[in-house]
Amino acid sequence: PPVPSAHLPSHFMKGAIIQLATGELKRVEDLQTQDFVRSAEVSGGLKIDSSTVVDIQESQWPGFVLLHFVVGEQQSKVSIEVPPEHPFFVYGQGWSSCSPGRTAQLFSLPCHRLQVGDVCISISLQSLN
Protein backbone atom coordinates (compact mmCIF):
# COMPACT_ATOMS: atom_id res chain seq x y z
CA PRO A 1 0.00 0.00 0.00
CA PRO A 2 1.14 3.60 -0.54
CA VAL A 3 2.79 5.39 2.35
CA PRO A 4 0.13 7.65 3.87
CA SER A 5 0.89 11.33 4.14
CA ALA A 6 1.46 12.68 7.63
CA HIS A 7 0.78 16.22 6.48
CA LEU A 8 -2.57 17.62 7.51
CA PRO A 9 -3.55 20.80 5.70
CA SER A 10 -4.25 24.00 7.57
CA HIS A 11 -7.94 24.07 6.69
CA PHE A 12 -8.59 22.07 9.85
CA MET A 13 -7.05 24.83 11.94
CA LYS A 14 -9.60 26.56 14.15
CA GLY A 15 -10.58 29.83 12.50
CA ALA A 16 -9.89 28.65 8.95
CA ILE A 17 -12.32 30.21 6.48
CA ILE A 18 -14.34 27.72 4.49
CA GLN A 19 -16.38 28.58 1.41
CA LEU A 20 -19.58 26.62 0.99
CA ALA A 21 -20.89 25.80 -2.48
CA THR A 22 -23.54 28.48 -1.93
CA GLY A 23 -20.74 31.05 -1.69
CA GLU A 24 -21.27 31.56 2.04
CA LEU A 25 -18.13 31.78 4.20
CA LYS A 26 -17.94 30.02 7.58
CA ARG A 27 -15.24 29.16 10.07
CA VAL A 28 -14.35 25.48 10.12
CA GLU A 29 -15.45 25.09 13.75
CA ASP A 30 -18.89 26.56 12.94
CA LEU A 31 -19.79 24.13 10.17
CA GLN A 32 -22.91 22.04 10.60
CA THR A 33 -24.21 18.91 8.92
CA GLN A 34 -26.63 20.99 6.84
CA ASP A 35 -23.76 23.06 5.39
CA PHE A 36 -22.25 19.96 3.80
CA VAL A 37 -25.61 18.60 2.66
CA ARG A 38 -26.64 21.88 1.06
CA SER A 39 -23.22 22.35 -0.56
CA ALA A 40 -23.41 18.93 -2.15
CA GLU A 41 -26.92 19.70 -3.42
CA VAL A 42 -25.79 22.81 -5.30
CA SER A 43 -22.49 21.31 -6.47
CA GLY A 44 -22.51 19.69 -9.82
CA GLY A 45 -21.05 16.23 -9.88
CA LEU A 46 -20.50 15.64 -6.16
CA LYS A 47 -22.72 13.79 -3.75
CA ILE A 48 -22.62 13.24 -0.02
CA ASP A 49 -22.33 9.68 1.21
CA SER A 50 -22.95 8.34 4.67
CA SER A 51 -19.83 6.47 5.70
CA THR A 52 -20.18 4.35 8.81
CA VAL A 53 -17.05 3.53 10.81
CA VAL A 54 -16.97 -0.27 11.18
CA ASP A 55 -13.46 -0.74 12.59
CA ILE A 56 -10.54 1.30 13.88
CA GLN A 57 -7.13 -0.38 13.93
CA GLU A 58 -3.50 0.50 14.37
CA SER A 59 -1.84 0.97 11.01
CA GLN A 60 1.31 -0.83 9.95
CA TRP A 61 2.72 2.71 9.65
CA PRO A 62 3.72 4.16 13.02
CA GLY A 63 1.64 7.16 13.96
CA PHE A 64 -1.30 6.23 11.77
CA VAL A 65 -4.65 4.58 12.27
CA LEU A 66 -6.44 2.39 9.78
CA LEU A 67 -10.13 3.23 9.47
CA HIS A 68 -12.64 0.92 7.83
CA PHE A 69 -15.92 2.35 6.52
CA VAL A 70 -18.98 1.07 4.78
CA VAL A 71 -19.98 3.75 2.30
CA GLY A 72 -23.26 4.80 0.76
CA GLU A 73 -26.31 2.82 -0.24
CA GLN A 74 -24.12 0.15 -1.77
CA GLN A 75 -22.45 -0.44 1.63
CA SER A 76 -19.09 -0.56 -0.14
CA LYS A 77 -16.08 -1.26 2.05
CA VAL A 78 -13.41 1.45 1.99
CA SER A 79 -10.32 1.69 4.19
CA ILE A 80 -8.10 4.72 4.68
CA GLU A 81 -4.99 5.42 6.78
CA VAL A 82 -4.79 8.77 8.52
CA PRO A 83 -2.99 10.36 11.46
CA PRO A 84 -5.09 9.94 14.63
CA GLU A 85 -5.66 13.71 14.82
CA HIS A 86 -7.42 13.79 11.43
CA PRO A 87 -10.93 15.20 11.94
CA PHE A 88 -14.01 13.68 10.32
CA PHE A 89 -17.44 15.28 10.33
CA VAL A 90 -19.98 13.01 12.01
CA TYR A 91 -23.69 13.48 11.21
CA GLY A 92 -25.47 15.34 13.94
CA GLN A 93 -22.34 15.49 16.10
CA GLY A 94 -19.69 17.49 14.29
CA TRP A 95 -15.91 17.16 14.15
CA SER A 96 -14.57 13.92 15.56
CA SER A 97 -11.15 12.26 15.54
CA CYS A 98 -9.45 9.17 16.93
CA SER A 99 -7.39 11.47 19.15
CA PRO A 100 -9.37 14.56 20.14
CA GLY A 101 -6.51 15.62 22.41
CA ARG A 102 -4.00 15.72 19.55
CA THR A 103 -6.51 17.49 17.30
CA ALA A 104 -6.99 20.15 19.95
CA GLN A 105 -3.22 20.42 20.43
CA LEU A 106 -2.39 20.70 16.71
CA PHE A 107 -5.43 22.55 15.33
CA SER A 108 -7.22 23.99 18.38
CA LEU A 109 -10.31 22.36 16.83
CA PRO A 110 -12.71 20.93 19.43
CA CYS A 111 -13.49 17.31 18.56
CA HIS A 112 -15.47 14.36 19.80
CA ARG A 113 -13.86 10.93 19.86
CA LEU A 114 -14.49 9.03 16.65
CA GLN A 115 -15.99 5.64 17.43
CA VAL A 116 -17.15 2.51 15.65
CA GLY A 117 -20.75 3.14 14.55
CA ASP A 118 -20.25 6.86 13.89
CA VAL A 119 -21.64 7.98 10.53
CA CYS A 120 -19.24 10.36 8.79
CA ILE A 121 -19.82 12.68 5.88
CA SER A 122 -17.85 11.78 2.78
CA ILE A 123 -18.15 12.70 -0.86
CA SER A 124 -18.03 10.79 -4.08
CA LEU A 125 -18.77 11.49 -7.70
CA GLN A 126 -22.41 11.60 -8.60
CA SER A 127 -23.51 8.73 -10.76
CA LEU A 128 -24.27 9.77 -14.33
CA ASN A 129 -27.23 7.48 -14.74
Q: Rounded CA gap, 18 and 25, in Å?
A: 6
Q: Which of residues 90-129 bind another protein (CB under 8 A)?
A: 120-125
Sign of CA dihedral 99, 87, 96, 103: positive
Burial label, 116 (beta-carbon count in 10 A; 0-12, 13-18, 19+):
exposed
46 is a site residue for another protein (CB under 8 A): yes
Closer Cβ to another protein, 48 or 98, answer by number:
48
> Where do contacts with another protein occur on this chain (CB under 8 A)?
9-12, 16-21, 25, 28, 31, 35-36, 39, 43, 46, 48-49, 51, 69, 71-72, 74, 76-78, 80, 88-89, 120-125
